[in-house]
Amino acid sequence: MANRHLCRSIVMQSLFEWDFGGYTADITEIVHRTAKEFAPGETYTPFMRTLAEGVVKKRAKLDEIITVAAPEWPIDKIATLNRTVLRIGLYELLFGNHADVPPKVAINEAIELAKTFGGDTSSRFVNGVLGAVYREMGEPGKDQKSQKKQPIDRSTLPIDRLVGAVVYARTDEGLRIGLIKDVFGKWTMVKGHLKDDENDEQAVRRKVPDEMGAEVNEVNDLLGENEYLANTDDGGKIRKQVKYYLVEAKYGTLRAGESGGIEDAAWFPLEDVADLTMYDDIVPIITKGVEILLER
């Protein structure tokens, strides 16, 4: 995932919470906590700060523009997720540095956030509103593209390791998959940062009980792995490597983790998993785990 897209995702989740809580919480504290929960190791970068604090300061003006661009939708009737994404997109479109983030890039990024976190119609709604504003602006920078960045030599960067777990259990009624639900209503897998003195299996055995209250029996197949870049505290870059494992746990009552960002945890029959609302990037990992279990 591109670093700035990750930053926008963190800011979006933070502003969602800020909106949901009635605009009273400290946005800086929320962003710090959200980054820690959803992107361990990611810091409160200048980009995040400008975007999050900028939306907070300009909220009244942004909402006024949304009301004009979507008159059939009173601001308080727009879904919180859509409203949050629109504010981010409009802020970058109207108040952002166009030399750094061209208007069309700002719109496309907002649409991608809507696709990832919103419902079936969110991206179309966001595209329509932002497109209307962009046309009213006279389509500035229509042919402008982001400045080409110098390639990063990944071999010189430090590595940060994480693990994810597709958890399953054996019951009298058959196999069950254990998943957690985040604050956006998406079912997802356990994932967490390795401590300095841990190997993959030790981290899995710690994170599964922490996030869903299940006791691990065995850490099985390696289902896949990926890598993305993130910022360090000093403004540098770090390679974050995630390995995903198929993990057998004892069947029992699950509970949502206490670390924040998790609303629920539950077991599902294998045949029900495909109907759940999940993030697109984890579907292939969970699908592979289910296929392995079905083959056995």
CATH architecture of 158-295: Alpha-Beta Complex (3.90)
- Tell me the domain boundaries of the chain: 3-136, 158-295
pTM of the model: 0.56
Q: Per-residue pLDDT tens for 92-146?
A: 998 888 888 888 899 999 999 999 888 778 999 999 999 888 887 766 665 554 4
Q: CA–CA separation, 122 vs 75, rounded Å?
A: 15
Alpha helices in the chain (DSSP H): 3-20, 27-38, 46-57, 59-69, 80-95, 103-117, 122-136, 200-212, 283-295
- What the block records as the tokens of 67 is 């009301």
Quote the longest CA-to-CA distance of the chain: 64
β-strand 187-188 against 174-182: which pairing, if any?
antiparallel
Q: Domain 3-136: state its class.
A: mainly alpha
Q: Per-residue pLDDT tens for 28-75?
A: 999 988 887 776 666 667 888 899 999 999 999 999 999 888 888 889
Cα-Cα end-to-end distance for the chain: 33
CB of 56 closer than 8 Å to CB of 87: no
